[in-house]
Structure 1
Amino acid sequence: MDLDKLDWRDDLKWSHPQLETMYGQMGGDIGYASVGLNDKLSDEERKKWADDTNEQLNALIPPMDPEYTRYFDVHGCPEEPDAPVFKLTVSIPKKPRTKRKNSAILIIPGGGLCLCMGATSPTEVFANRYGVPVATFEYRTVIDAPYPAALNDCFAAFLCLQEHAEELNINPDKIVLHGNSSGGHLSLALPHRLKKHGITCRGSVVWAPIIDDRPMYYSSKVESVFWGNGSAALSARQYLGDLCGSSHVPPEAMPGRATPEECVGLSPVFIHAMTEDTGLSAALHYCDTLSHAGVYNECHAWGGTNHLALSMNSLYGDLDNDESDYTKAFQAVLDHEFEDLFRYDLRRPWVKDMVEGTEADAE
């Protein structure tokens, strides 16, 4: 059998029957490879594509209620204190989960690192579903600047949310990271940066992350017009520059590169990988690495879904349809994971203590 013929996964025959509509939509071409990640085009052309695409996709998001929306200016992080200022948008729940200090969710948008796709970060939907404040922002994409610009913006947004914890009635030690696709990548990368500063977030819940620049896994060959190995390779090259493919890529740039030693002491991780996606194998490998390092983690590989079909169906599909039980099962797992992070501290400081104790004894 010619396995190369199995690489393309756009045909609906690969989809779960209940995901055919969304699978088909997520198999369409929105211009990642031809425009957004095409560095032969001018920055102006690429930015226009990003703005136009975001405008179309944002039509999916219900209008935000100004009474329950807050905005804060974000002014850089320790690594880049003079970074361009941007806005942090926070949705306040209409029915808070508790009157005490709440948890909070920081959603990092997806979009192949060339687009901050607002449709992947509907803060008001999450705020009212979980009863906690939910924040998001637009980071610099590869059209603006390479690594570490996007990660610096993520760190700055996290620090800003902590800074305004009192007025938002949140516990700064209970911030959960969430992201889809490249937002998932950055939601797994940020804890490595936080660790350098002695900070651990409450945990990360991610969908379909792309976390390794090396095409070394079976799933690395999976291709799609919407998003596959070709687009992932372009994105990684533009994000990492000369680092791409080298032995010097740090875990805060590509978490899939992390060793168990580099993962010790990280916050809990919940990954939802998609079987017809180029990022599947790297996600599974990362969870294995986290387990070796003693980090609390869960990994779910959902069948019959390409890069975003199941996750986007959970946001915009018909969840009231009795026949959509596959999406409902996915949503139920997500609800359980967020509830676990809100209720329990699943971080494992004793692992770090054991490692540091061993090093001290060795000295």
Structure 2
Amino acid sequence: MELLNIDCLGRPLRLEGSMAGWQQVFWNNTLVSQQNATGNSDGHSQHSFTLTGQNANGEAQEILITLDIHLQWQPFVLDYRISVDGAPQSSGQRTTKDIERQTPQVAPAVPQKFSLVGLASLGFKLLKSAKVIKVVLAGASIAAYSWLFSFQFALALIACLMFHEYGHIRAMKYFGMKTKGIYLIPFMGGLALSDEKINTRWQDVVISIMGPTFGLLMSLFCVLLYWLTGEIFFAGLATFNALLNLFNLLPILPLDGGHILKSISFSMNSLTGLLTCVGGAAIGVYVSYTFGLALLGFLLLIGSLEIIFEWRSRHQSHLLPLDRYGQIFSTVWYLLTVCALVGVIWYFAGIGDDLLGLPLKILQS
């Protein structure tokens, strides 16, 4: 990932590195110094290299550049000092906030894999600029949910989905990202799009979890309306909206839960952190099967295995990892949201109405 990008002798000087310990220094997009992975990326390191410049008489001369850095990953703090022929030229400090606001000069390479999902994603990207696609997808979603329930319930459910996606949009705008709007997908929910890339795993967590959080707020609002009016319509809306948001929090990519748990687990730079993540997943599976939530437990197991298999490649990511506080806060936020959504479904399942008990039966199937 890009850690530093400043001016040096009128040309950009860029430092890239990872938690594995490797570092590369580029001057004017030319590699001038590198450090191999050491397994310990915290602490002091120095890069020295020579450049060919001109003296006052226009003659070529060698210029020695020294870049001293002191790096701490969790929380991220980078102190740097540049010297030219032994004379200090510039110094400064970068933190997580600086990484969030930067625009990387070199976009991270994404391996190209052939898949139906990839082809569908490519086709969607080609069409997403046309506003008519939004209208067509919204109409198809209303028709699909009307076929399952009723036209009135479909409109209300679409409103819940829009509120969920608006949570993603608000988070993107909080980080200063430009958004492309919301697209509804029949039987799949919705999709909030942005043209800009994220730089930190904290951004990934916040953007991902704000959708289900807004969805939870909508379900709680429907619960309140049910208490005030006694209308079963609001109870059904609260229940099915909770089910959709709970499904979104499953630890499977590209769902919101997959992004959240992957950011948390991949930020743990130790075997102990991975074992803690595995232990938490095992507890979740046990609780799911104890309460008869077979589908939830099975998908939780699959998603956790996916994270474990990809854990070793976490250092190859361009995203700045979460610090300890961020890992704990994100985990608590995630678990509280999941428990609250399950609580809404469980509450209405006990009322006795077949429609209200359907989401719980889906989880138990």
- Normalising by structure 1, we get a TM-score of 0.29
Higher relative contact order (CA 8 A, sep 6+): 1
More strand by proportion, 1 or 2?
2
More helix by proportion, 1 or 2?
2
- Normalising by structure 2, we get a TM-score of 0.29
